[in-house]
A and B are shown apart, each in its own frame.
Chain A
């Protein structure tokens, strides 16, 4: 018998029953809820006269719609306000743990789950948000779900699922200075494509992944979905356990000892077989910049914007031409010639303390370029913000000309007031460069926090390693 992968182990530990065709009822340990994808699910429960199965697994927080400044004035947008009030009503009605705006623990759902220790190794974690893959960094099976599934999990504590395939992406060796988790994951997506992991759970492995902090591993797993994989994960090691220890929701005392012993098993066996294996040499990775309207449209900062004529496949070439037109770029131009209008440092991909520190190191003693209309830092949570302020990072950013905001999803998806105007070009530490993602007609380039900070200072992309 061959060994099991990490995903096999997590799957097997959570199967409640199997249908004849292999569809399984999978038990869910943690259900994270935000305001956008939950109202219809709670309404569905009410209409059917059903009660939530186990409310103690649910943690709710507003993040997508919340304003990132002038919070004392409330939420100006009446439609957003209704949605936020609906979440408040639902958590009150059903007795759900809730971190409202104004609570220092409020923040982006994928930042606060791990921060609170609500995400633990070995758990199944779901949320009505595709970036739930983030939590896999803890050796958890975590997946984004739709609203019908949110309702299903609320009502039954289970998810109906078919097992995915096993894929392992190994990043071998060590990255050079100035190359971050974001560059690693963008390079992976550039290699395997935006559908490269469709139907798979991806385990990220190799020395370069082991070298990463938990923040870095979260950045990598966060973008598994941009490679098409609903779940990304990293095996448990000392880095994982150190991070989890003493967090508010983490087990304590004897439970802690038992839990750690169990978590140590959360590794793929040496003889486990994967359906797909990809190897990437860490030493080859340089800071990445996306040039197009899909995360797979990415190149090293040292490179040029690619030419559709070289694509081969006509459907792909048309897609590239459309992307170049939308982005207002010329094939063959150096990436460092791309001039920016706005800079956004934030999102569930890159708004943790380590990200803000990396950006601040680049910014310190420098100024945002004259023509940059807005450079903003949106911390991932109130606690991240508080700690950053203790370290004086807010001062560094403000002195350089950045705005320092309150936590939320903000301009990653521009549901609140933070957005690009048509034609504006943004260096963004978020996860999606889709057409209109950051505002109708807006042009998004995905980069690491250090690269975004460097771009803010230079006014155009620049290789952060040369600063």
Chain B
């Protein structure tokens, strides 16, 4: 079941790059797993470690890259990721979201997100928050200027609040917000409309029978 999200106050980690792709968030070799869990130690693997990683390794024994922000002691315990535009572009791999949540992130703030990543996030209790580029620029300055900088993200009120009390409203589609606030399983919700799906199928079968005889034909 999806973890619900309502409000969070947490340390913010800045990732100052545009177009962070899902290959960077979780490299391909870890996609061979048949599980949804255990991706946290390999989040941003190529940037985070100095040695190559493979599935099944003890990642705690690897050489960490001290210059990568995830390894900076001041951002330990961060649960909010501050990012640049087009975050999550590239592959549809949901493993990217699983890696972020498994590491502990619950919110990503960016000026824009890639569509598939954006949708995948909501399915896993990770809230993607879109704020204006100018606001994101300012947040980058603040988080870099103030060690231990936190933000409060309130999904119910749809607002991000800074330690000084300044607040920035954000948009969320009502349906997604509802599902996330309540931790709802959307398959269960959809199946409540099973009759409508069947009615659609009956209508469609009359219009386009070839779509309902889908196997190979002699």
Q: Which residues of A line the B interface, CB within 8 A?
A: 16-17, 19-21, 23, 25, 27, 29-30, 36-37, 39-40, 43, 48, 50, 53, 56-57, 64-65, 77, 79-80, 82-83, 86, 97, 116, 118, 120, 122-123, 128-130, 132, 144-149, 151-152, 155-158, 160, 162, 164, 194-195, 198-199, 225, 228-230, 248-252, 255-256, 258-259, 262, 294, 315-316, 318-319, 322, 413-415, 432, 434-437, 440
Contact = CB atoms under 8 A, between A and B. Distances in A.
B32 A228 contact: no
B187 interface: yes
Contacts of A262: 207-208
B18 A316 contact: yes
Contacts, number: 204
Contacts of A17: 193, 196
Contacts of B185: 48
Interface stretch (B68-76, B118-126, B149-157, B162-170): B118-126
B187 A440 contact: no
Contacts of B16: 318
Contacts of B194: 156
Contact of A156 (B97, B116, B187, B207): B187
B60 interface: no
Nearest to B27: A436
Contacts of A155: 187, 190-191
5 contacts: A27-B204, A39-B34, A118-B214, A434-B90, A436-B23
A41 to B, nearest CB: 9
Nearest to B97: A146
B27 A146 contact: no
A241 B171 CA distance: 43
Given A36-B32, A145-B92, A151 B187 contact: yes
A255 B46 contact: no
B4 to A, nearest CB: 16
A29 B211 CA distance: 7
Interface of B: 16-19, 21, 23-24, 27-29, 31-36, 46, 52, 55-56, 84-86, 89-94, 97, 112, 114-116, 119-120, 123-124, 173-176, 185-187, 190-191, 193-194, 196-197, 200-201, 204, 207-217
B115 A50 contact: no
B197 to A, nearest CB: 6
B27 to A, nearest CB: 6
A79 B32 contact: yes
A37 B33 CA distance: 10
A148 B31 contact: no
B187 A50 contact: yes
Contacts of B196: 16-17, 25
B13 to A, nearest CB: 18
Given A16-B193, A79-B56, A156-B187, A258 B216 contact: no
Contact of A97 (B46, B91, B114, B215): B215
Nearest to B179: A160
A379 to B, nearest CB: 21
Contact of A160 (B84, B190, B213): B190
A84 B138 CA distance: 47
A19 B34 contact: no
Nearest to B24: A435
Choose among A83, A116, A122, A195 the residue with the greatest number of B CB atoms under 10 Å from its CB.
A195
